[in-house]
Structure 1
Amino acid sequence: MPDSVLAVDQGTSGTKALVVCPERGVIGTGFAAVRPRHLPGGRVEADPEELYGSVVDAGRRALADAGEPVAALGLANQGETVLAWDPDTGRPLTDALVWQDRRAEVICGELDDHADELRHLTGLPLDPYFAAPKMAWIRRHLTRAGHVTTSDSWLVHRLTGAHVTDAATASRTGLLDLDRAQWSPRAVELYGLEGERLPDIVDNAAHTGTTSAFGPELPLTGLAVDQQAALLAQRVTEPGTAKCTYGTGAFLLAHTGGTSRRGTSGLAACVAWRLGGRTDHCLDGQVYTAASAVRWLTDLGVITGAADLDPVGAAVPDAGGVTFVPALAGLAAPWWRGDLRGSLTGLGLDTSPGHLVRALCEGLAAQVAELADAAAADLGDPLTLLRVDGGLTRSALLMQTQADLLQRPIEVSALPDATALGVGALARLGADPRLTLADALPDTGPTTVYEPRVSADEATERRTRFRTAVAALLAGGPA
């Protein structure tokens, strides 16, 4: 029987598939682009059929590239992207509302009096970023028919016919009782979703069905939300360390152990994973725009792409007094003000593209440092280091800036596709319960370690400038 697995990461802007062999590493890859639509009013939609097609295309390409059979399939998902769909035909009944979509602000506004109750129940702040407000918006404005779920449940149903979601993804909805890892009747009631056929909640490594969508019949044995899969691949399995993935957004997760832990610093509390019925937990903070902020600078013509960050930024010694709060899709954790816009201050006639690049890197790094400080405050101890992955980790300028502002070492993962590798490890565990978690995880150290190069005083000064700019936004932005 083959030991390799097919690991598929269905992301915001594309689907990456890997064939992973425990001895030889990645032996096949495939990619298929996804094109979400950014519409007025903070709306972000995707064609569900394009999402499903990208999963099948990327998976088949990876299998063809590997040229050998695999034992099982693992599937990672975007987390908070939702749609309505017909359980009889599998046909989508609406577009997919992507996690960045803000149209459910009105739903959250109506529930403001219940924000503390919901946060205590579910671990999540009341924000349209999460799935439940979007699900309620779909039911109110688009259709009452079919099921309304996160995108993973629909993809799994199309692949296998099962109606399930994993415990980690369920914890991103705003409908999960975090202490019991079961759907909360009270949260369901508050969101007006009574009577919904919610998916069964399963372990992250478990046999949930079989599919022939990729050619040979494969068991689906691993499921995870993207950031928790990356957390696992980075071997952040004990409290004290954290990981940050720099993708479309930046996502910092800190492991908190076997009991749910609600912080007071503005982070979300979530399920990290559930294996063999045992639930691990994490704290989670987001920066809504990371690579998408780089794309914004690119669209303006300041740079030609992410590869320009280092050479353009190297043309100047610092940000030249420019401060950039790159809240181009709103401020996420720990402020939770998705209604606010970004700011770019301190501009002068001498401001150059290099200053803007450095200001962007500093703004991103400062936001991630705020998340790390919030996690440390909630844990009661400082984080010892930050493990990082994602496309923007190729920028030495951004990573050095991150180490400088955080005043902690930054370990850049040797795993460029940590999410896929994490769900691949879950698929191996689900296919072979004799394996331990340590056996299933990739055993790879960092490619680079960035140590702080500036003093603590300078880091404090730079972060204070950023906090001052955020405070100005909070004071003057929409209520």
Structure 2
Amino acid sequence: MTGPVLAVDQGTSGTKALVVCPERGVLGTGFAAVRPRHLPGGLVEVDPEALYASVLEAGRAALAEAGEAVVAMGLANQGETVLAWDPATGRPLTDALVWQDRRAETVCAGLADRAEELRQLTGLPLDPYFAAPKMAWIRRHLTREGVVTTSDAWLVHRLTGAFVTDAATAGRTQLLDLDGAHWSARALEAYGLLGERLPELADNAQTVGTTRAFGPEIPLTGLIVDQQAALLAQRVTGPGGAKCTYGTGAFLLAHTGGAPRRGDSGLVSCVAWRLAGDTGYCLDGQVYTAASAVRWLTDLGVISSAADLDPVGGAVPDSGGVTFVPALAGLAAPWWRGDLRGSLTGLGLDTGPGHLVRALCEGLAAQVTELARAAATDLGAPLDTLRVDGGLTRSALLMQTQADLLQRPVEVSALPDATALGAAALARLGADPALSVAEALPDWKPAAVYEPRIPADLATERLAGFRTAVAALLGS
């Protein structure tokens, strides 16, 4: 089956939609903003109806611009955002708890003695970032009615009436048996969720239903969690490579092949995708604040927008001794201390905006470097290269800093919307199972390659300074 497909990336701060043709590329685009509420105490929530409305708005805009019929649709989702809803009517019963929300820390604290059991079983550490703690919190504090699922299952139900989630998104819940890629009774029991009606687990490329939400009937044939969609679009389909997406947070994924790797480096082991019944796995590391940290600097008036990173940071030769640990929503992998706050040290009367910008770029790049090193340790071999995508890759200062600290080439994707393009590839695969994965993927070439410009000993020195600052936080 040939023809354009509609790909929708429902993200944290907005929904992006593309109409993608295998021969002619992107024919139409649409975007609709989403505005989560950040509340005291680390609470982050969003109106589910706003998520669905954004899918419709972005999708309709992309289809209108393309002016052509599509043969299938793919949907990428946020991963760990959850809500309770009525399966009979599709009506939300709660707000959606966004992946950044920390209110389920109490649930995790009560399961501390089962943390290692759950990690071995599901590949995920015990942390309120994941879906299961939020699901349990909703059941304990908000409602026992309806079903409680990740946001994708609700969106799919609203679009098609089906009750499904994909294997990769299920792997973000801490309710999936990692080795068997099926729901785990032991994990459900641990969270007090035994007896819950859970979505059917679908392959990432298969027909799950049809939708008329955009006008004509469109089969929904691709489902995926956002970071795995980007991994696929970056053509990292086997061990040795990794990608990092610099969005609201920064997310590094390294493919591990057909078997999960459970290392001791603090990374998450999860499903990359399941295609035609075959499961591929990846290691996953998170930085909770990337573009959101840049937005924080903007809100303080240090810069006026992310476009200022290069001119303001480029006005000074270095960070002037300033070290920034941008843990503004806690430290994720490999430390898993979501309770910690960020730190800004080494300030002086001579510290200017450029020093703060450079310190932020170094702090972000250092965290990603720690993730890449952890992945290499768990894989038993260094990563060849790092392929990167996301809005912050437009900053040459950040990308050069990343290459310097990593001491590896950083290849910036020429694909500005890797997540949506990954969803598009899966939609094509689901609509035409005769295609190979390689045939379904977009051509890949870097828009830029950043090579390290500083010697290894200077990179080691800068990383050591960052680690010292992190150690001070961990000991506080």
* TM-score (normalizing by structure 1): 0.99
State the match for 2:227 in structure 1.
Answer: 227
Task: Tell me the distance in 2 between the aligned counterparts of 1:355 and 1:167.
Answer: 44
In the alignment, structure 1 residue 446 sits paired with structure 2 residue 446? yes
Residue of structure 2 in register with 1:168 after alignment: 168
Counterparts of 1:105-120 in structure 2 under 5 Å? 105-120=105-120
Q: Distance in 1 between matches of 2:264 and 2:216?
A: 49
- Partner residue, 1:240: 240
Preserved contact between residue 6 and residue 18 of structure 1 (Cα < 8 Å): yes
Which residue type is aligned with residue 365 of structure 1? A
Write the letter of the residue equivalent to 2:168.
Answer: A
Q: What is the SS of the residue equivalent to 1:222? A: strand
Letter in 1 for 2:172: R
Amino acid at match of 1:239: P
Pairs aligned (count): 476
5+ residue gaps, structure 2: none
Alpha-carbon distance in 1 for matches of 2:157, 2:458 = 53
Name the structure 2 match of 1:381: 381
Aligned ranges for residues 78-477 of structure 1 at < 5 Å?
A: 78-476=78-476
Secondary structure, aligned partner of 1:263: coil
Deviations 1:390-409 (A, max 9, x none): 00000000000000000000
| Offset at residue 2 of structure 1 (A) | 5.4
Cα distance between partner residues in 2 of 1:321 and 1:389: 29
SS at match of 2:51: helix
Deviations 1:87-107 (A, max 9, x none): 000000000000000000000
Secondary structure class of the residue paired with 1:41: coil
Give the Cα separation in 1 of the matches to 2:437 and 2:283.
21
**Inter-partner Cα distance in structure 1 for 2:3 and 2:255:** 29
Task: State the AA in 2 paired with 1:308.
Answer: D
What letter matches 1:126 in structure 2?
L
| Residues 135, 149 of structure 1: 8 Å contact kept | yes
Q: Measured at CA, do residues 126 and 333 of structure 1 come closer, stay the same or move farther in structure 2, by a change above 3 Å?
A: same
> How far apart are residue 444 of structure 1 and its match?
2.4
Q: Distance in 2 between matches of 1:167 and 1:124?
A: 15
* Cα separation, 2, equivalents of 1:312 and 1:259: 45
The one-letter code of the counterpart of 1:237 is T
Secondary structure of the equivalent of 2:308? helix
2:44 matches 1:41: no
Distance 1:315 1:120 in 2: 48
- Give the Cα separation in 1 of the matches to 2:145 and 2:2: 42
Q: Deviations over 1:276-331 (max 9, x none)?
A: 00000000000000000000000000000100000000110000000000000000
CA-atom RMSD in angstroms: 0.5
> In the aligned structure 2, how far is the partner of 1:97 from the partner of 1:411?
34
Is 2:14 aligned against 1:25?
Answer: no
Report the equivalent of 1:61.
61
Distance, in Å, in 2 between the alignment partners of 1:241 and 1:76 is 22
Give the residue type in structure 1 aligned to 2:143.
Answer: T
Residue identity opposite 1:44 in structure 2: V
Rounded to whole Å, the distance in 2 between the matches of 1:428 and 1:270 is 24
Q: Which digits, 9 at most, give the CA deviation of each residue in 1:381-424, with x for residues without a partner?
A: 00010000000000000000000000000000001100000010
Separation in structure 1 between the aligned mates of residue 332 and residue 444 of structure 2, nearest angstrom? 31
Does the CA-based 8 Å contact 1:247-1:291 persist in structure 2?
Answer: yes
**3-state SS in 1 of match to 2:366:** helix
Q: 1:444 corresponds to which letter in structure 2?
A: W
Which residue of the partner structure matches residue 11 of structure 1?
11
Moved over 2 A (4+): none
For residue 210 of structure 1, report the CA deviation from its aligned partner: 0.3
Matched residue of 2:365: which SS?
Answer: helix
Counterparts of 2:261 and 2:205, CA distance in 1: 23
- Paired with 1:2 and 1:249, the residues of 2 have a C-alpha distance of 35
Q: 1:206 aligns to what SS in structure 2?
A: strand
- What SS does the aligned partner of 1:279 have? strand
Q: Is the 8 A contact 2:235 2:444 kept in 1?
A: no
* CA contact 2:322–2:346 (8 Å) conserved in 1: yes
Question: What is the rounded CA distance, in whole Å, between the counterparts of 2:398 and 2:74 in structure 1?
Answer: 31
Give the percent of matched residue pairs that are identical in Structure 1 and Structure 2: 82
- Please say if residues 90 and 157 of structure 1, whose CA atoms lie closer than 8 Å, have aligned partners that are also in contact: yes
Name the CA distance, whole Å, in 2 between partners of 1:375 and 1:308: 32
Match of 1:356, SS state, is: helix
Look up the equivalent residue of 2:416 and give its one-letter code.
P
Structure 1, unpaired ranges of 5+: none
Is the partner of 1:197 in helix, strand or coil? coil
Partner secondary structure for residue 45 of structure 2: strand
Give yes or no for contact 1:2–1:69 (8 Å, CA) kept in 2.
no
Q: Structure 1 residues 440, 2: closer, same or farther in 2, change over 3 A?
A: closer
Structure-2 separation of matches of 1:275 and 1:300: 46
TM-score (ref. length: structure 2): 1.00
For 2:209 and 2:263, the matched residues in 1 are separated by 36
CA distance in 2: counterparts of 1:343 and 1:117, whole angstroms: 33
SS in 2 for 1:56: helix
Report if the CA contact (8 A) 1:165-1:202 is conserved: yes
**Contact 1:2/1:70 (8 A) holds in 2:** no
> What is the CA distance between 1:263 and its match in structure 2?
1.3
Amino acid at match of 2:218: L
Deviations 1:148-178 (A, max 9, x none): 0000000000000000000000000000000
Query: What is the identity, as a one-letter code, of the residue corresponding to 1:287?
Result: V
Q: Distance in 2 between matches of 1:50 and 1:216?
A: 23
Q: Secondary structure at the match of 2:475?
A: helix
